Amino acid sequence: MVSQDLLEILRCPVCVREKEGLLDLVHGTWLVCRDCGRKYPITEDIPVMLIEEGDKWIQVAVGDLPVPPPKLS
Ligand SMILES: [Zn+2]
């Protein structure tokens, strides 16, 4: 599990420049930005906070996110 302390300090790297970029944990393994809808996977207990990764999932509905997230290649 990713620690609660870590989750509380993580922010969307795109939105944090201008607003809060707060993230919601969904399915226990995705972090969804409340501002832009980018979705960042948590793979092997490590949140992948890459903008390009968030971009990849921006159009995918929360309910359609794969669980567990695909491994990064
Ligand atoms: Zn965002």
Number of Cβ within a 10 Å radius of residue 12: 25
* CB within 8 Å of 11: residues ≥ 6 apart: 20, 21, 22, 23
The Å distance, Cα 31 to ligand 1 centre, comes to 10
Q: What is the pLDDT of residues 23-51, one digit of tens each?
A: 999 999 999 999 999 999 999 999 999 99
Bigger pLDDT: 4 or 40?
40
Rg of the chain, C-alpha, whole Å: 11
Q: What is the pTM of this model?
A: 0.92
The Å distance, Cα 23 to ligand 1 centre, comes to 8
What are residue 7's phi and psi, to 5 degrees? Answer: -60, -35
Task: Fill in the amino acid letter for 8.
Answer: E
The Å distance, Cα 8 to ligand 1 centre, comes to 15
Helix (H) / strand (E) containing 52: helix 51-56
pLDDT at position 72 is: 72
pLDDT at position 4 is: 87
The Å distance, Cα 61 to ligand 1 centre, comes to 15
Helices first, then strands: H and E counts in the chain: 2, 4
pLDDT at position 55 is: 98
